Structure formats: C-alpha cells, structure tokens
Structure 1
C-alpha cells in the first residue's frame, strides 16, 4: 500500500493469505522459527491491543507478520509518510515497553509452573496431615508452654525430610508410576522433571531437613527423621514389589512423625509419644487397604504386590480393614492412659471410631470401589478429628 494506507497494520501475509497464529509461532516472518516464539500469555495480551502485532518488536518479534520492508511505521520512526514518523517513534517505544512487560509476565508464569512441579514432587498436600501429627506431638510433649520458634523449626525440618523421601520414592517408582492411571501425570513419568534433578533435589531436601532438626531441636529428633527417611525409601518402597506385608512395614515410618515432634520438644520419646504412634500405626492399615482396593487394577498393572491384587473378591481385604478399625477403638484410648486425654477426647475418639467402623462394616457387606472410597474418606476425616479432640482437651483442661 502507499500513502495514508501505509499506516494500517497489514492483516494478510505476503501471499495474500490470512495470517494464522499458533501457540508457539505467529505469522510468517523471514527469520527462523525460534525468532517467532510467542508464549500463550503474550498472545492473549497482544490480542486486545488495537493496531499492535502479536509478536514483539526487535529481536523478540522479528519483523511481524508482513515481513521486513512492509512494516508499520510504529516499528521504525524513519518509515512511512513524514507526518507519521514522530508518532511512529512514540508507538515503537510503547511497543518495546509493552513487550518487555509481557515477556516478564511469561517468565513469571514459567517460574510459577516450575514451583507447582516441585510441590507435586514433594507431595505437599499429602504431607500437610503429616505435619499436623508432628505439631500435635510437639505441643503435647511441651507440657504447659510451647516454644513457637521451636515448633516452626521442627515443622520445617520434618517437612523437608518428608519432601525428600517423597522425591526419592517417585524417583525409584517412576516406571511403575508411568503404568498407573492415578500416578502417570506425576512430574517424573510425565517428563516434566528429569530423574537426576529429582534425585538431587530430594537429597538436598532430606539433608537440609535432618540438619535443621539437629540445629533447632536435638540430635534425637534428627535421628528419628533420618530413620523415617531410610525406612520409607530403603525398606517400604522396594518391598511393595516383593511382599504384601509392605502395608504393615510402611505403617511404621508413617506413624513416627508425632514421636519426632514429641522428641523435638522434650529430647526423648515418652509414653504419650508412643500412644500417638499406636493410633497412627493402626489407622494407616484401613487407610492404605481402602486405597489398594479401589485402585487394585492400577497396582496390578504396576507390578506391586498388594493384598488387594491377590484377593480377587475382596473378602480378605475388607475383613482386614474391619479388623483394624475395631482395633483402633481401644488404641485410641492409649492417650487417656498416658494422661493426655480426658472426657472431651474420649467422646470425640469413640464417635469418630464408631463412624469409621460402620463404614468398614458396609465395605465387608458390599465389596465395591465405592465403599472402599468411603472408607478412605472416612479415614481422612477420622485422624484430624481425633487430633483436634486431643488438642482441645489438652487446652481446656
């Protein structure tokens, strides 16, 4: 175009065809494909700006959709009619600043996505409940006065150790995870984090966690954290492919966090700490059995030797689940024997235990994935309720 029409942004490519955009490339500029890379956020922001190309000026955007020599006078102050040159120079500066802002937004989005991948590698939501048991053990072990700085340091150290164990677990099980529907989208099997990176990050997390506990708490709590890591990574994880006893073995490191918290506060585990250990040990069995039943096809596909995989009709799995929910009723009274709980805690523990047992009875009668999931959600509700009841009883006594 010539004259006044040259100030308009071309809407078609050099061959007269409509301009097409994709998530990674915009236009048909003469430069290499890498010069035209546009993140989705830039596409969204650029789309609403009148008279503005999607690509960025300069090295970020090459020459735009219409190629060099056909450009908008806004790109170079010396192009186009003389009466538009000054205006074009101003527009070019605005476009540069806008491009830099969009590029910074893209970089921030990439960093946020990377953070999400690391949180998934650490199994962060899962470990919130674990940290709650650590806090419960620390608070109950502190008797009358809680050191909040000590509690925060203990939670940070225990959390880092747990994150490291989760990363190592996913590193060791990345191939089975890729065959399971419930885990195939984890960062390692999905290829979003490299195995070597996961191994290094997990090791750093675990070392930092154990070291922090030794500094802010005591050597005994650091030793318990190291034992949890070794039992979970070195014993439970490989045992899942060897024996159905892996559920009972895995319940040991899963029951030690409140002992860690108690020891961090007092220097040594006491009767109260072991009463909390007993509750968590028994609680984990129906919790894990329920998961293993409704996901038994996944576990079989991955080659894990779970009781549910060997138990075709679910009769043994459901009965064992009911057995441990019944055992949980007297086990939940151990804190009372240890002097930690009173009438309020007894009422909460009995009601929660009876509700969980009722769900297990239904699972025995109707061995379906739906009933197994109800037991699973029942276990997730049971533990916070019992811990909260114990805390409230301790506070108001």
Structure 2
C-alpha cells in the first residue's frame, strides 16, 4: 500500500493507483505518480516542502484522511496523467540517498515463478522448492476423504464389537488400519477420475486433484500403495474374507459407482452397497458371515444412506446437473423423496430384528425406535412437500411456487442433519444393548447358584 506525506502531514493512502487526490482542512492538491521511488523532484511546480512515499502494512489502518473530491481535483489529475503520457513525469531511478524516503517496513517474499506454481506438491519438491511437511501431507490427507473414511471405519469397528465371537486387540487394530487404507485408496481413485467434473461443483472444487496440488497419476499411485497395504494388512492381520471384502469395495466404489454417476440413477443404489460392506468386514473379522446379525447391520447401513444422500443431493441438484451427474434429485424429484422415506421406515424392522435374533436385548427395539421415528418424521415432511410440489394439480397450475420449493429444501436440509446424528446414536445404542453386555453386573444370585449345580436328568 502507498502512503504520501507532506512534511509530517499524512495526505492520502491508496494501493496501486495512477492518480490520487488528497485534501485537508487547510490545503488541497492533486498529484500523479507511478510505481517507484517518489520524492520532491517528481512534483511539478511544487518545490517547497518535503514529499515522501512509502509502503505500509495492509493491516495498519490510516485515519484522518478526507476523501473529498471536486471537479477541479479530478481535472488536475487528468492533466498530470496527460503529462505523464507525454513523458514529463517519470519515476526516479532507485538510489539510496538521504532524499529518498521510500522504505518497506516489512519483508517481501519473492514471487514464485509460474512454472513452480503450476506443479503439484511432489513436482515442486523435485524442482528444488522447500515445502513443509504440512504442505505435502495435507493434500494427500484430503485425497482420502477423511470424513467419509472415518464413517466407514466407525461402521466396521462397531460391527466388530457387536459380533458375538471372541475379540482380539491385534485383529481389531489391523481391521481399523486396513479399513482406513482401503477406503483411502477407493476415494483417491474416485478423485483421480473426476477432476474435470469436480471443478464444476462448489462442494468439490477445492479437492487436491482439482486444484493441481496432486495430479491424477499421483492419485492413482497413492491409491495403489494404500490399497495394496490395506488389503495386505486385512489378509495377514485379520483373515482372507475381510481382505476380499475390502478389495471388492474398492472396485465397486472406484470403478462401478464412479462410472454410473454419469449414466444412471442406479449409482445411488450401488453406492449404498458400498456403504453396507464395511459392517460385513467388521463382523467377519470376529465371527461368521452366516450370522443374521451381520446382514441386519449391513442392511441398516444400506437403508440409512438413502435419507442421508437423497436429502443432500436435493439441495445440490443444480450443481450435480451442471457437472453432468445423473441423480434422482433432478431426474425424478418425487422418487428421490419417496425413496428417502421408504428406507427411513425400513430402519424400524431392521432394529427390531436385531433384538429378535439376539444381537441386542429387547430394550434396543424401544430405544432405537425413538431416533428412527425422528428420522422418519423428517423424511415424511420432505416427501410430503415434494408430493404436493409435483402433484398433477400443481403441475397443471404452472408448477410449484418459489415458496414451496424453498420449503422442500428446508425439509431436505433437516432430513440430512437428522441422519448425521441418527446413525452414530443408533450404533452407540447397539453396543450399549448388546446381548449379554450387562449380565456380569446385574445377574441374579439364584441364577449363579443354579448354574453351579449339575444338571439332573429324569429317568
């Protein structure tokens, strides 16, 4: 930022301008200047007084400067500009002298060349630029979609805890690390395949492949290393079944789901299958996939994704359409809301089945119904508004009003946030109500004595 003084009086400040006007209570004048060192010799017919121009930090506020402008002041500025164009006014060559009062009170970092700026973090390191560990690691951390990876890891570990088999700390840690690496690999491939489409959406425009911090080839390399390491950890640290499910999930998400996003609305159903596999991985790490609890838990994660994603895609339908993704939210808005409600209601029999098959105690059916009911209520309001917006009578009258469309968006947003906290709460209730979880704390003495007596057989 430039600062011009007349003696000890601050006249004006302005960043990167050609003409500037200043005024005080007792004195008014206009000067033209160019970027460079400015001293008294730059001002025509102004031999008296000391003039200086210098840089000041942008955060320092300058006060007491009037912004009053007159026609005469503007005309004077135009005259100075004309004189400069004719060559009468030029910046003084940079010299270190007592007359030169310009100074930079803060450090100026050298500007990176365009060649360095257009490279990824790895290429910049290879080009000799010194980057901090944070500058290198953060783009790869974001490449793995940490929030989505955390939810996937949470569902697999909760399933491991709920399974009736014996637990093992080493297997649990291998399951956690392997699931994180496998999920990160699938997400990296997904980002590497879609940079041209992701940059058209505000939600995905800052992804590292879109911004150029990581190239698509580097994303694939990261995915290969992460996926191989994750599946190897699951294979040797847990069992081959879990490793096979992890590899299957990588292929489903990065290949089939990503390809279908631009072709068919079935991509949502395939994506729901991807979300249902991690609970199977956790259960298979501790017990058998033949147990009903494994498939009930997977079904719950499968059903949960429809109210979660359909409500999210409703408010992002314009961006999805602009990017070329085929989503139910704009292809068939009524179906989008109806599917969200349908699978919200499906959560009730699934949770009741967890109690029926002995995975959780009977009180889980009651506790979970409270939170499933809330999610179903939000989904119902979303569906009901969309049903009214796209009914035959509404379409015959010219379509829904702006107020009705805005109301549907509000209900969709509430459904989305309701699903965000409903899933972890229900999973926590599952572990709280796990069958036999509290027997050692609340068992009866007579039950303990009867268990010590040998069984008597008649006859």
- State the TM-score, normalized to the length of structure 2: 0.63
TM superposition shift of 1:315? 2.8
1:123 to 136, 141, 145: 145
Contact 1:236/1:249 (8 A) holds in 2:
yes
Residue 437 (structure 2) pairs with residue 376 (structure 1) = no
Hey, which bits of structure 1, 4+ residues long, moved more than 4 A? 20-23
Residue 352 (structure 2) pairs with residue 333 (structure 1) = yes
Q: In the aligned structure 2, how far is the partner of 1:335 from the partner of 1:176? A: 41
Higher-Rg structure is: 2
Specify the SS of the correspondent of 2:203.
Answer: coil
TM superposition shift of 1:267? 5.5
Contact 1:259/1:269 (8 A) holds in 2:
no
Indicate the RMSD between aligned Cα atoms, in angstroms: 2.3
1:92-131 correspondence to structure 2 within 5 Å = 110-131=132-153
Q: What is the match of residue 362 of structure 2?
A: 343
Contact 1:318/1:360 (8 A) holds in 2:
yes
CA displacement 1:5-43 (0-9 Å, x = unmatched) = xxxxxx9974533227575339xxxxxx89xxxxxxxxx
Residue 184 (structure 2) pairs with residue 163 (structure 1) = yes
TM superposition shift of 1:148? 1.7
From the two aligned structures, give the one with the greater helix fraction.
1
Tell me how many residue pairs correspond in the alignment: 307
Q: In the aligned structure 2, how far is the partner of 1:339 from the partner of 1:255? A: 21
Residue 343 (structure 2) pairs with residue 324 (structure 1) = yes
Contact 1:275/1:338 (8 A) holds in 2:
no
Q: What is the match of residue 443 of structure 2?
A: none
Residue 77 (structure 2) pairs with residue 24 (structure 1) = no
From the two aligned structures, give the one with the greater strand fraction.
2
Instruction: Give ranges in structure 2 of 5+ residues lacking alignment.
Output: 1-53, 56-93, 114-128, 387-407, 440-459
Q: In the aligned structure 1, how far is the partner of 2:341 from the partner of 2:108? A: 53
Contact 1:348/1:385 (8 A) holds in 2:
no
Q: What is the match of residue 71 of structure 1?
A: none
TM superposition shift of 1:275? 0.8
Residue 275 (structure 2) pairs with residue 260 (structure 1) = no
TM superposition shift of 1:245? 1.1
TM superposition shift of 1:343? 2.9
Q: In the aligned structure 2, how far is the partner of 1:22 from the partner of 1:304? A: 47
Q: In the aligned structure 2, how far is the partner of 1:244 from the partner of 1:140? A: 33
Q: What is the match of residue 62 of structure 2?
A: none
Residue 396 (structure 2) pairs with residue 396 (structure 1) = no
Residue 138 (structure 2) pairs with residue 138 (structure 1) = no
